[in-house]
Structure 1
Amino acid sequence: MRKFVAKHATQVTGTLSCFDRLLFKGHLPLGYPHAMEQFLTQRRVLMKDLKAFVLQQAARLKTQAAAAAEHAGRPYEYLASLVRKDQRARAIAARDGVTEGLICVFSTVEPCRTFRLAYGHGRPAIRPVWRKCLFLYFYFLDREFGFCHVRVQTWFPFTVQVYVNGHEWLARQMDKRGLRYRRLENAFLWLEDPGRVQRLADRFAPLPWPAILDRFARQVNPLLRDELAGYRYYWATHQAEYSTDVLFTSRTALRALYARLLRHATLCLRAEDVLTFLGRKLHGRFAGEILNDWKRRWPGARVKHWMKANWIKM
């Protein structure tokens, strides 16, 4: 990257590397049958009452979500068909002039991993099973993280997903410090002080993430206050995107060069190169598939290199 920037120094105003889209998954220590059986025993819930107990707790989550939306004066919508939820939430925020706090709550039925009661020899046993249940999506304009959402499964084990965006967080950090910038959707086109902004971006990863994510979880799962008192979520990074933006002086300066870069990346890069980009080496026992994918998209085009579930794109 340094060689590239040096070569095009007259056309580049700076670079910025920061986290982009992040999805965290929160798991309670109830995700396997034995733990669930212990939980029911502690709560004095009989095996035969498992279904009724599960549905009762699910109803509490749904009722709390509707009440939270009503209290904030925000819409609660059931989505019966496939909808781009992020776009819908942004449209609601723009329509209603929301600048901070809850934007809306969506509910929709999706596949989930939960439990069932299995009968056979001896006493009934709890077994994991895939079912469909109601999920709740809470969309916020958070004071610190900007546009984000929290998704909670209403059936045990109440898995939570938190989405945040590093560019959203960084924009708010610049706003606090009076640093000027130009932004188009999820990209910065110009930065007043790229060096200072990079130092701000480097503060994102060391944030106290467990405490931050616990705060989001408490907002959407009221059971943590009573039925699940004493339980905490274990957090794992489910998806992470890290971007490097090269800021050019103008669209004209980039246009001709970008076409050449796309052509080179599509036609000249080999599997070994893609693995190198992703910190791997090609060896004879590799059983996956490596792909180069070029697509024309508004307002231009992009090339993406895939290795299994990992990718890098330009």
Structure 2
Amino acid sequence: MNNNSFINQFSENIKFHYTCFDRVIIRGYIRNFFSMACVVLFLKAMGFSKKTNGVIRIFTDQLNSHISKQAERFGVQIHWWPSIGGGVNGAKQKFFENIYACKFEGQGNHVFCILTDKENVRTVASKEFITKKGKKHHVLYKCRKPVKQYYIYFHDSVLGGPCYLKISSYLPFPCEFYFNGHNYIKLQLDKKGVSYKMKENAFTHVSEPDVLNQAAKQINGQLVQQRIDYLDEPFFQV
């Protein structure tokens, strides 16, 4: 007996059912960078005595340069999102699928492109004060402002695709990883020669439902973390 009352009630009319992770977003943070005192200590450890916006910008410039070099290494384009139509509510994903994913028939790890866009995010800024004695003093504070974001789209040999890695180009440099559990299952079914049909983002027919459910159960935190560790090294470790 299944715990789902709907399935129990209509079991005679249900050919198969499954449960899996769908569209998954995992966010990563450097926790200490959300503390202004820790940011000050970080700047001192990096050899900076001043806490100016110019100093903070140095790390952004280093990241921008690093990602540009990696894009050249992988032979992929960096698209400025507003210049190719822009849009919200899944527009980036649709653009990627229409231009890149629909043409991809390969396997393994493959980087497709990088989309950049400005988004209003929580970040850090510096404000200058002048003391009564005329000395300049800089104070760091939290704020929200438009910051350049990188979306690195790729196909993963284990999780399938499309996936993306995202990083904000300014302190505190939050990151994001996206994948779709259905794409992982598709890879497993293809490897085992199991036929299936899909409508949008769901399986509507599968020749061996047990194989589908087995694949769905294989998606866990350890598997995803292993893929994140493998995939973020070339782009996120400067």
**TM-score of the superposition, structure 1-length normalised?**
0.64
- Superposed CA RMSD in Å reads 2.3
The answer to whether 1:109 aligns with 2:109 is no
Per-residue Cα deviation, 1:98-143 (whole angstroms, up to 9, x for no partner): 6351111011111122212234587533211112111111001111
- Contact kept in structure 1, 2:153 and 2:164, CA below 8 Å: yes
The answer to whether 1:180 aligns with 2:195 is yes
Taking the TM superposition and a 5 Å limit, the aligned residue runs for 1:65-80 are: 65-80=67-82
Greater fraction of residues in strand: 1
Query: How has the CA–CA distance of structure 1 residues 30 and 144 changed in structure 2, closer, same or farther, with 3 Å as cutoff?
Result: same
User: Match for 1:200 among 215, 221, 225?
Assistant: 215
Greater fraction of residues in helix: 2
How far does residue 220 in structure 1 lie from its aligned partner after superposition?
2.5
Taking the TM superposition and a 5 Å limit, the aligned residue runs for 1:200-239 are: 200-223=215-238
Counterpart of 1:92? 99
Taking the TM superposition and a 5 Å limit, the aligned residue runs for 1:133-144 are: 133-144=147-158
Per-residue Cα deviation, 1:25-53 (whole angstroms, up to 9, x for no partner): 100132221110110111111224x3223
User: Match for 1:45 among 43, 48, 55?
Assistant: 48
- Segments of 5+ residues of structure 2 without an aligned counterpart are 132-136
Cα distance in 2 between the residues matched to 1:181 and 1:107: 35
Give the number of equivalent residue pairs: 222
- Contact kept in structure 1, 2:79 and 2:114, CA below 8 Å: yes
- Contact kept in structure 2, 1:65 and 1:105, CA below 8 Å: no
Counterpart of 1:62? 64
How far does residue 149 in structure 1 lie from its aligned partner after superposition?
0.8
Counterpart of 1:154? 169
Report the residue type matching 2:36 in the other structure: P
Counterpart of 1:233? none
Report the residue type matching 2:87 in the other structure: L
Counterpart of 2:6? 4
**TM-score of the superposition, structure 2-length normalised?**
0.82
Counterpart of 1:276? none
Counterpart of 1:245? none
Taking the TM superposition and a 5 Å limit, the aligned residue runs for 1:258-277 are: none
Report the residue type matching 2:43 in the other structure: L
Counterpart of 1:190? 205
